[in-house]
Structure 1
Amino acid sequence: MGKITGFMEYQRLQEASEAPLARKKHYKEFSVHLTNDQVKVQSARCMDCGIPFCNNGCPVNNIIPDWNDLVYNGNYKLALETLHSTNNFPEFTGRICPAPCESACTLGINDDAVGIKSIEHFIIDKGWENGWVLPQISAIKTGKKIAVVGSGPAGLAAAQQLARVGHDVTVFEKNDRVGGLLRYGIPDFKMEKSHIDKRVTQMQAEGVTFRTGVFVGKDFPSNITNWAKETVSPEQLQKDFDAVIIAGGAETPRDLPVPGRELKGVHFAMDFLPLQNKINAGDKLKDQLLATGKNVIVIGGGDTGSDCVGTSNRHGAKSVAQFELMPQPPEQENKPLVWPYWPTKLRTSSSHEEGCDRDWAVATKRLEGKGGKVEKLIACRVEWKDGKMQEVADSEFEMKADLVLLAMGFVSPVQQVLEAFGVSMDARGNAKATTDGEGCYKTNVANVYAAGDMRRGQSLVVWAIREGRQCAREVDAALMGDSVLPR
């Protein structure tokens, strides 16, 4: 490594960010990448550990020690090439990935892990700043045509890989802009959408065609955001293309079946978050769902719930509370027990820092209101005994609620899409396709593949990129007899 004793000499440094009170006034990103001097010190903390568990902790198997060493020595361009060799979109993961690589860092056993995510953020931003991120245009054309359904991270990764080996790739997106849940599921203050736009421009130069506002299927489902203006049947895609990759997101939200669910003011998170992103993009909306001046309760303690908290604060909510069904996790994980795996521990997001009353082991019993409008939420404390959840006696309480946002995760991809293709599904409603042996990512329908959330269910952006890349290799090998694409 660049500095063998660096891990003993230097402390972990977090990226600088704008103060919570200031950043709540806008929707721009508020964290900045490290300086050249800072990133040199942080990359110096990477140990010569012998077995870099971070590589396996990272779903795309980033070659982390290698680019840490290159950054330490100031070779940023080669560090970018090394980073891009495993990850098509490090500007996405360097901003929104929870960094399982850091949980697997060997230094993390008894010290703060190497700041891998901040170094990745630095490398890709340095690449864009210096014009090093260029289209990789294939010198040959295979004549094979491939359709990719969904323009989230899985679809984009698959499309880019296939275009770079000479295939004609068309990406179909039901929304009015490219990006899938990257575009409309993640607030701009976590990732500005210019990063997607720059990649789209690069991919268009590489030969990828994007068709937005097109729903692939038959009947458009009513429970997902709809800006589609056109419908294309699976039969038409199978006729026009040599292979089809279904790479949509897990967009069927988990509902809350309690009395009062039908009241006005009770919404899924994805009825709320995309609208602000559209406003930020310059769109005009007649009926935007706003938290301004309201008592907001977010049900669900994950990332989507956190995004609802941050957006509500920026709207100027009167109060924001967030409930989680599970017990409060420990502030510090038991490292000897869980390392190098992802630990269960208390995580405080940037949105929580901006203002939020958090509570755990809380179950919603009912919602009440007048005139068809929600006014309060009735909840209770719960505890787990013998593997079962039960209500704590005499623990019922109520809270004012003008807006209730359901952010309890997503149960499956859109069933109508898979049914329209005739794709077999597993017990969770995901497309049934293996990642091992022959026919990886291939569904039961001839020349139809599935990757990302569509195959594995709700997951991380970095897992979607991995599956998109791997699926692209399988498609290329099936069409050409072999593939030079990395797996």
Structure 2
Amino acid sequence: MGKVKGFMEFQREVPADRAPLERIKDWKEFHLKMSDEALQSQGARCMDCGTPFCHTGIMLGGMTTGCPIHNLIPEWNDDVYRGFWRDAYDRLMKTNNFPEFTGRVCPAPCEGSCVLGIIEPPVTIKNIECDIIEHAFAEGFVVPKKIEHRTGKRVAVVGSGPAGLACADQLNKAGHSVTVFERDDRCGGLLMYGIPNMKLDKQAVVQRRIDIMEEEGVVFMPNTEVGSSSCPAEKLLEDFDAAVLCTGSTVPRDLDAEGRRESGGIHFAMDFLRSSTKALLGDSQPVLSAEGKNVVVIGGGDTGTDCVATSLRQGCKSVVQLEIMPKPALERTGDNPWPQWPKTFKVDYGQEEAAVLQGEDPRRYSMMTRKFIADEGGNLKALQVSQVEWVKKDGRFIPQPVAGSEESIPAELVLLAMGFAGPEAALAEQLGVACDERSNIKASEKQYLTSRKKVFAAGDARRGQSLVVWAIQEGRGAARECDRFLMGETSLP
């Protein structure tokens, strides 16, 4: 695959980004496009490695290794190198319903397990994937497909995030009549309201795909909460031959600290990001705004980064990001060998922007929030924090405050970006489906069937908080097993 010794001839290149001081003035995507010739050179670096770990899609060391949807990466890298863009698109769509999403927001575990990455910087798989699909849209390869045969079976998909959309897309291709229920005012779930526009454009990318699915026959029902008085869960099972629960993991982890947790100014990250996106789409002014405030983001990961970047664009006074974990190493350590995901220090777009604007990286590592400090009116004015050291106790590492390291950080807005504890319980309770010890809906990874007949579950609601690419894989798997349940057999991959 690729050019013989191409990995020796060409260096890894990624698209240039718009300058930080320029891009924080708007909400547009910040990656610039590479030329087709440059992309072909990057495709040439794929090294015919014989055993391409890039599409293994397994868990090693508790982390994703390779592509969970098993993208045919060496094949479409070779097609791009040779300029066969239509062939590259056809191969890409065999495994991925939405490469325009993963090509933008996936952390690219495929690159972390690239064989070339053992000795050189890995192939730029994620960028090539994104350009293949955008090239396909530009060339008119992506058109709504007419479903020639309908089975007469009706399926309800609850939730329109990446798992729900992938499930609906696959079931529709199998000929079933699919209705997607979404409680929010717009469909897309996490893709619409959980990821900022500068990473994933809502109209030009997310809505574009939903419009195609509608033209292909999928029915979307926004503003419809399954389990509410207007849409009882049991009625859903009466009206449909099967239902797939793709509601996501939406219960945010809270912070147990002294002081008034209810103080004005302490909010969950997703509430903040949702408010910002709704305002950008013209619905209202931001309900939660960072303008003119000292902002503290508690938690790392993509959501923490998105909160930093959004706060800067809203005109915050300052932004600090607290992470309880130590600062990662610059290179792989002995307990983090290839092909595991490299747990190394990275600077994402939000931190880069904050560093340019404020003069330093906003992240502070090994920091624990001890107390919320409010003013006389009950509004947040500061956090009391301290450094921590990780001590092994009863076989586990736990954070212990370092004596004398306490300090106060000004904060009128605190955003909690510490992940999610599981799905909301109400729908599972109404349907009487069993949940596991982590509160996720209980369903096997092979069958996706819950404890109740004709009810399936997929995505974060089943496996817990995870990546968009895992959600797509889950949605595809649930669609396959739902089709088998309905028809006695299935041809879905």
TM-score band, normalised by the shorter chain?
Answer: over 0.9
Conserved? CA contact 1:45–1:114, under 8 Å? yes
- Alpha-carbon separation, structure 2, partners of 1:366 and 1:9: 55
Deviation for aligned residue 1:142: 0.2
1:100-139 aligned at under 5 Å gives the runs 100-139=109-148
- Corresponding residue of 1:226: none
Conserved? CA contact 2:194–2:270, under 8 Å? yes
- Corresponding residue of 2:487: 480
- Alpha-carbon separation, structure 2, partners of 1:2 and 1:307: 35
Structure 1: gaps of 5 or more residues: 219-229
Cα distance change on mapping 1:161 and 1:281 into 2, 3 Å: same
Conserved? CA contact 2:296–2:319, under 8 Å? yes
1:58-73 aligned at under 5 Å gives the runs 58-73=67-82
1:323 and 2:322 are equivalent in the alignment: yes
Q: TM-score, normalised by structure 2?
A: 0.94
- Corresponding residue of 2:471: 464
Conserved? CA contact 2:325–2:367, under 8 Å? yes
1:408 and 2:399 are equivalent in the alignment: no
Return the letter of the residue paired with 1:164. K
1:127-206 aligned at under 5 Å gives the runs 127-194=136-203, 195-206=205-216
Deviation for aligned residue 1:467: 0.5
- Alpha-carbon separation, structure 2, partners of 1:473 and 1:366: 49
- Corresponding residue of 1:225: none
Conserved? CA contact 1:250–1:412, under 8 Å? yes
Conserved? CA contact 1:153–1:465, under 8 Å? yes
- Alpha-carbon separation, structure 2, partners of 1:408 and 1:11: 36
- Corresponding residue of 1:447: 454
Conserved? CA contact 2:69–2:470, under 8 Å? yes
Deviation for aligned residue 1:337: 4.3
Deviation for aligned residue 1:336: 8.4
Counterpart pick for 1:363 among 368, 372, 385: 368
Conserved? CA contact 1:33–1:121, under 8 Å? no
- Corresponding residue of 2:54: 54
Counterpart pick for 2:382 among 376, 383, 393: 376
Structure 2: gaps of 5 or more residues: 57-65, 355-360
- Alpha-carbon separation, structure 2, partners of 1:234 and 1:192: 33
Return the letter of the residue paired with 1:6. G
RMSD over equivalenced CA pairs, Å: 1.2
CA deviation digits over 1:161-212, x for unaligned, max 9? 1111110000000000010011000000000012111111111111100000
- Alpha-carbon separation, structure 1, partners of 2:427 and 2:21: 43
Please give the secondary structure, in 2, of the residue aligned with 1:232.
coil
Deviation for aligned residue 1:335: 7.4
Please give the secondary structure, in 2, of the residue aligned with 1:426.
coil
- Corresponding residue of 1:224: none
CA deviation digits over 1:131-170, x for unaligned, max 9? 1111222211100000000000000000011111110000
1:421-432 aligned at under 5 Å gives the runs 421-432=431-442
Conserved? CA contact 1:109–1:335, under 8 Å? no
Question: Bigger CA drift: 30-39 or 65-74?
Answer: 30-39
1:389 and 2:399 are equivalent in the alignment: yes
1:22 and 2:22 are equivalent in the alignment: yes
- Alpha-carbon separation, structure 1, partners of 2:202 and 2:28: 10
Return the letter of the residue paired with 1:434. S
Task: Among all aligned residue pairs of Structure 1 and Structure 2, give the percentage whose two residues are the same amino acid.
Answer: 50
Structure 1 consecutive aligned stretches of length 4 or more whose deviation exceeds 4 Å: none
CA deviation digits over 1:269-290, x for unaligned, max 9? 11210111111112124x6211
Conserved? CA contact 1:33–1:118, under 8 Å? no
1:44 and 2:44 are equivalent in the alignment: yes
- Alpha-carbon separation, structure 2, partners of 1:2 and 1:301: 36
Q: TM-score, normalised by structure 1?
A: 0.95
- Corresponding residue of 1:277: 277
CA deviation digits over 1:67-118, x for unaligned, max 9? 0011111110110010010000000000000000000100000110000001
- Corresponding residue of 1:419: 429
